[in-house]
């Protein structure tokens, strides 16, 4: 799939990985719909690619996600690829309900509502592509941010379910579950970070994976190793050392 002339929506494109993805697709000549809460940052991208970028400012924790999505699709004149990249997470010593609630509303509610809509939109259209930025944290629980890893497990599991659903009815819908390790953005928190990639490098590898219609991709590629190790580790051993 070449992206020239494609219509793409990226939810969560005002900074970090989403912003770099938006720039890559804009440079490739795509029509883009980008969202976030920080209007000025979205406008900056829009102004650099005149006539190519539509922006919509909304909070994915709100109750009008689908109305915003529909209006963006209308402005673009259709949709080929939907990317849910918005995400939230924070570390806390004790469980903190404000952090957990924001995490769940952003990474579970907002995600499921919009990806559900995109699936049905593409099913009606007969083709399309959905990608979502989950995390390597989806593989196992962690004590730094329990709600974050749980919410990312929800995302990856949901994406797998949609993949199987589309396959069962032979729908021409590509599903891509993106699992980054550490990427240098304001989201990257907590101690002991390693193999931290730049957002630009992460975006390049994500775009490549979407283009080659991969179901699951680890970002950067070497994080595949960590994923396999985590999956192989017996639960009792992980809980002893984790």
Ligand X SMILES: NC(=O)c1ccc[n+]([C@@H]2O[C@H](COP(=O)([O-])OP(=O)(O)OC[C@H]3O[C@@H](n4cnc5c(N)ncnc54)[C@H](OP(=O)(O)O)[C@@H]3O)[C@@H](O)[C@H]2O)c1
- Which residues contribute to the site for ligand X (CB under 6 A)? 12-18, 36-38, 59-61, 85-89, 106, 133, 135, 180, 182-183, 185-188, 199
Query: Closest CB to ligand X among 188 and 233?
Result: 188
Query: Closest CB to ligand X among 87 and 128?
Result: 87
Min CB(15)–ligand X separation in Å? 4
Distance CA 155, CA 165 (A): 15
Query: Closest CB to ligand X among 129 and 151?
Result: 151
In this structure, the strands spanning 31-36 and 7-11 are parallel
Q: How far from the centroid of its chain's Cα atoms is residue 135's Cα?
A: 9
Closest by Cα among 17, 192, 16, 18 to 8: 18
Q: Where are the alpha helices (DSSP H) in the chain?
A: 16-27, 39-48, 65-76, 97-104, 111-125, 146-168, 199-211, 223-232, 235-241
Query: Closest CB to ligand X among 2 and 63?
Result: 63
Query: Closest CB to ligand X among 82 and 88?
Result: 88
Min CB(123)–ligand X separation in Å? 25
Min CB(61)–ligand X separation in Å? 5
Min CB(235)–ligand X separation in Å? 23
Min CB(154)–ligand X separation in Å? 12
- The sign of the dihedral angle between the CA atoms of 225, 226, 231, 235 is positive
């Amino acid at each position: 799939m070449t992206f020239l002339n494609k219509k793409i929506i990226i939810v969560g494109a005002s900074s970090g990985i989403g912003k770099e993805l938006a720039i890559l697709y804009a440079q490739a000549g795509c029509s883009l719909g980008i969202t976030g809460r920080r209007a000025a940052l979205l406008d900056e991208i829009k102004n650099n690619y005149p006539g190519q970028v539509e922006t919509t400012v909304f909070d994915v924790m709100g109750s009008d996600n689908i109305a915003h999505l529909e209006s963006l699709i209308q402005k673009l004149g259709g949709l080929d690829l939907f990317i849910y990249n918005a995400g939230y997470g924070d570390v806390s010593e004790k469980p903190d309900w404000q952090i957990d609630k924001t995490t769940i509303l952003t990474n579970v509610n907002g995600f499921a509502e919009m990806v559900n809509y995109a699936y049905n939109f593409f099913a009606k259209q007969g083709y399309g592509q959905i990608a979502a930025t989950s995390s390597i944290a989806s593989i196992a629980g962690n004590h730094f941010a329990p709600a974050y890893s749980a919410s990312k497990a929800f995302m990856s599991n949901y994406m797998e379910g949609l993949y199987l659903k589309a396959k069962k009815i032979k729908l021409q819908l590509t599903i891509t579950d993106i699992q980054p390790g550490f990427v240098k953005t304001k989201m990257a928190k907590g101690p002991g970070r390693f193999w931290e990639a730049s957002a630009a490098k992460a975006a390049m590898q994500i775009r490549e994976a979407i283009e080659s219609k991969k179901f699951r991709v680890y970002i950067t590629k070497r994080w595949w190793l960590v994923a396999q190790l985590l999956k192989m580790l017996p639960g009792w051993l992980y809980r002893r050392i984790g």
